[in-house]
């Protein structure tokens, strides 16, 4: 399986080189190096017998952007080596590779594709950790998305999309998984800044050595810019679920999000969602609701502050596992020169569960420098 993921990464590089070759005159290429030091007071995500240590990160990144009136290309790759001063057994290398490409045809139709590869030993966000077993292990995640958005008439468009996600974990307690999602439906533009869509979605989740689950969804959505600086997105629907135990039932799903641009220097976003869904980590339906908050503000010409918050409440339907996760993060970025950037960040996360081996509390703090060439 590891060899398979390596080949996927190699394919991404080949695709990237092809696009750069045909767009060499317009592509913007940047190389980024970074050095970071910090402290992690719960490396293993354990309730007891915690491992804590100072650490140092050394990173090398490569980024390409190519935008024109009809197409957009983005390629990003990053490799980071983390070394722990007190617990060298946890030293690791983080790998990320992402590619996205979109193109318009006939001034009306649009095709978009993206591919993301991640090799890591811990999730990248609070949302990614929600519902995950509280332990440290190496995993490979690969996600592919492709969509086609076509114009039927002036105010009506048809969306078709497919996504594939595969997850391989180096842990005896986590099975390999694969998720397929197919989506299709029309979008009606009822004004210059409002639209309504009705989509059908089919999701199929399969765990290696276990049964599978299927979710049929009907989703009605509304999107609008209520004011010049405020956008609202609302989705409501119903899921027909056949779970891993082959039981069938219907459950509601809904979400709402707000993005508000306070002024040219500040913005904030709030998202709330409720759903019965599958995850990469556990072969069971996850009954969950979660809320995420984000804000950033430019303090002065060179300094920007970021704040994020997350809370999720979930229950695995068959296994009866209940998890609550709360997290908050604060970061401060300062542009030292045109190419040098300093960053300080702090994150706190706390998980409560009815299974004590899934509980943990964690503080993470870091400070670093990066340079873009």
What pLDDT, in 10s, does the model give residues 25-35? 667 888 999 99
As a whole number of angstroms, the distance between CA 61 and CA 341 comes to: 14
Q: Calculate ∠ Cα 371-85-122, nearest 5°.
A: 70
pLDDT, mean of residues 37-45? 95
Q: Where are the alpha helices (DSSP H) in the chain?
A: 2-22, 126-129
Q: Mean of the pLDDT values across residues 240-256?
A: 96
The residue whose two tokens read 């197919």 is 182
In whole angstroms, what is the distance from residue 84 CA to residue 44 CA? 12
Helices (H), 103-160: 126-129
Helices (H), 123-263: 126-129
pTM for the full predicted model: 0.88
Name residues whose C-beta falls within 8 Å of residue 139's C-beta, 6 or more positions apart in sequence: 118, 119, 120, 121, 167, 168, 169, 170, 171, 174
DSSP H or E segment with residue 224: strand 212-227
The closest alpha carbon to 129, from 244, 45, 68, belongs to: 45
Nearest-Å Rg of the Cα atoms of the chain is 22
For residue 295 the two structure tokens come to 């804000």
Structural domains present in the chain: 2-372 (2.40.160)
Could you read off the pLDDT of 96-139 as tens digits, one per residue? 988 888 988 876 899 999 989 999 998 888 988 899 888 889 99
Q: What mean pLDDT comes out for the span 332-355?
A: 94
Mean pLDDT in residue range 367-372: 95
- Confidence check: pLDDT of 1 > 50: no
Residue 278, number of CB atoms within 10 A of its CB: 25
DSSP string for 138-184: -EEEEEEEEEEEEESSSSEEEEEEEEEEEEEES-TTS--EEEEEEEE
Structure tokens at 323: 């998890």
User: Which has the closest alpha carbon to 314: 127, 144, 152, 35?
Assistant: 127
Scanning the structure block, which residue is given the tokens 């996504």? 163
Gap between the Cα atoms of 283 and 300, Å rounded: 48
Query: pLDDT tens for residues 144-161?
Result: 999 999 988 888 999 999
List, in sequence order, every beta strand (DSSP E) within 68-154. Answer: 71-84, 92-105, 109-120, 139-151
């Amino acid at each position: 399986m590891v060899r398979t993921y390596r080949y996927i990464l190699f394919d991404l590089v080949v695709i990237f080189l092809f696009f750069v070759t045909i767009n060499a005159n317009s592509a913007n290429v940047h190389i980024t190096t970074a050095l970071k030091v910090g402290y992690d007071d719960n490396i293993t995500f354990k309730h007891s017998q915690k491992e804590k240590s100072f650490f140092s990160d050394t990173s090398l990144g490569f980024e390409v952007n190519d935008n024109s009136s009809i197409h957009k290309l983005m390629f990003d790759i990053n490799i980071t080596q983390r070394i722990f001063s007190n617990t060298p057994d946890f030293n690791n290398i983080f790998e990320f590779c992402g590619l996205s490409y979109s193109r318009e045809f006939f001034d009306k139709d649009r095709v978009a594709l993206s591919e993301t590869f991640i090799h890591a030993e811990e999730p990248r966000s609070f949302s990614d950790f929600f519902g995950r077993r509280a332990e440290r292990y190496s995993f490979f995640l690969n996600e592919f998305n492709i969509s086609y958005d076509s114009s039927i008439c002036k105010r009506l468009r048809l969306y078709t999309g497919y996504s594939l996600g595969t997850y391989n974990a180096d842990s005896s307690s986590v099975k390999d998984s694969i998720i397929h999602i197919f989506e299709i439906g029309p979008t009606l533009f009822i004004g210059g800044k409002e639209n309504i869509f009705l989509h059908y979605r089919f999701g199929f989740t399969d765990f290696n050595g276990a049964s599978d689950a299927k979710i049929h969804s009907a989703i009605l959505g509304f999107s609008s810019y209520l004011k010049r600086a405020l956008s609202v997105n609302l989705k409501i629907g119903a899921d027909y679920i056949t779970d891993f135990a082959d039981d069938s039932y219907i459950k509601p799903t809904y979400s709402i999000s707000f993005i508000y641009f306070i002024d040219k220097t500040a913005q904030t976003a709030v998202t709330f969602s409720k759903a019965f869904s599958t995850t990469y980590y556990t072969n069971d339906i996850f009954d969950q609701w979660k809320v995420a908050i984000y804000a950033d503000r430019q303090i002065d010409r060179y300094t920007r502050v970021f704040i994020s918050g997350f809370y999720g409440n979930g229950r695995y339907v068959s296994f009866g596992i209940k998890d609550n996760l709360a997290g908050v993060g604060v970061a401060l970025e300062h542009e030292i020169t045109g190419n040098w950037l300093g960053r300080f960040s702090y994150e706190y996360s706390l998980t409560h569960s009815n299974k004590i081996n899934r509980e943990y509390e964690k503080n993470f703090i870091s400070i670093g420098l990066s340079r873009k060439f």
